Amino acid sequence: MKRGALITLEGIEGSGKSGHLKLLAQFLQSQGFPIRVTYEPGATALGRSLRELLLHGEGLIEDPLVELFLFLSDRREHVRLVVKPLLLEGKVVLCDRYVDSTLAYQGFGRGLDLDFLLRANRLVTEGIWPDLTILLDCPPEEGLRRAKGEDRLHRQPLEFHRRVREGYLELARREPERIKVVSTSGCPKEEAQEEIRSIVLEFLRRWPRET
């Protein structure tokens, strides 16, 4: 049976995820790979409502557990309706944020128990974990300066964003085979994109296409 690949892009606010994902998708499509692009939160009908609440529900979401369960509800629908069907079709799924965002933001950032977060994510994703994760890294001061928009997460204190960044880097130290760190600080966008493409192409060339 064909089994696609799930590649995620992660990083703090303003790290360049969305722009690099778009460039990567265009490149991989030009190389003939069966690419599909998706994102979290908000890729389903329910997810769009949850995204609006999560990003703009100022004053409505004050408990970290409430925030967590909203993100997990979005992820459950996303996996069930988008990610899993695409993988079963043999597609290469590029996803802007996924489980590592929860570990970094709600775990390291909010202080929720990481073991609990891992178990919860395994449940809602049915064990569908990223096959490769590109972590775009930059100092939070730099990322927040160039980030577009003023949503609820952007407005968190600088110390929160520092904890999130350190959390991401700790996850990369724990899983170096899956999570590859690419710096987007102080280097041309083209240079970072070339590094991302190199990592992804190497992965796809050895990825088992049959299961």
Alpha carbons 14 and 184: distance in angstroms, whole number: 10
Per-residue pLDDT at 2: 52
User: For 112-189, where are the E strands, in sequence order?
Assistant: 132-137, 179-183
pLDDT digits (tens, 9 = 90+) for 56-105: 887 788 899 999 999 999 999 999 999 999 999 999 999 999 999 999 99
Reference 72, options 120, 130, 126, 133; nearest CA is 120
Strand duo 132-137 + 35-39: pairing: unpaired
Which residue positions in the chain have pLDDT lower than 70? Answer: 1-2, 149, 208-211
Per-residue pLDDT at 209: 58
Can you read off the two tokens belonging to residue 14?
Answer: 């303003």
pTM summary value = 0.94
Angle at 50 between CA 140 and CA 69, to 5 degrees: 80
Strand, helix or coil for residue 58: coil
Alpha-carbon radius of gyration of the chain:
16
> Which numeric CATH code is attached to 5-206?
3.40.50.300
Per-residue pLDDT at 84: 97
Per-residue pLDDT at 153: 85
Give the rounded percent of residues in the chain with a pLDDT score beyond 70. 97
Q: Write down the domain spans for the chain.
A: 5-206
